[in-house]
Every structure is written in C-alpha cells, then in structure tokens.
C-alpha cells in the first residue's frame, strides 16, 4: 500500500495552525514526527506517523 505524505500546509489545516507553527513543533517537540526530505525543496510528513503521534501525544499548548 502506498504511503500518503502531508505538507506543512496540509498539517496546518489539519490542526488549525500556521505552517510556521508546524515547523516550530518539529524543532521543539521531540515527540513530533520527523519530516522526510523527498527531494530538494520537498519536505513531507508520513500520514501514518502523524496518526500514530495523534494517538499518543500530549495536548499541544
């Protein structure tokens, strides 16, 4: 089965925050899934890793 990838914009819409907030979570939260560099200038998160994180993550402040 093919993996689905989400952009910072996709994640921003998913959580109702800005792209900058997604990158801040990536920098500051050790539990936040790591970004995948698919090609130069193309960074995405795996949906499966995001879904797993949502099930176990502490609420975001």
For 22-49, how does the pLDDT look when each residue is reduced to its tens digit (9 = 90+)?
A: 999 999 999 999 999 999 999 999 999 9
Residue 6 is predicted with a pLDDT of: 98
pTM (2 d.p.): 0.87
On the question of pLDDT at 55 being above 80, the answer is yes
Residue 59 is predicted with a pLDDT of: 67
Tokens of 49: 């890793």
Residue 22 is predicted with a pLDDT of: 97
Transcribe 3-34 into DSSP letters. Answer: PPEE-HHHHHHHHT--HHHHHHHHHH-TTSPP
Tokens of 25: 């979570």
């Amino acid at each position: 089965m093919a993996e689905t990838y989400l952009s910072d914009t996709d994640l921003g819409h998913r959580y109702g925050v800005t792209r900058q907030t997604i990158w801040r979570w990536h920098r500051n939260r050790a539990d936040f899934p790591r970004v995948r560099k698919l090609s130069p200038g193309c960074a995405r998160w795996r949906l499966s890793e995001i879904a797993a994180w949502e099930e176990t993550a502490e609420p975001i402040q």
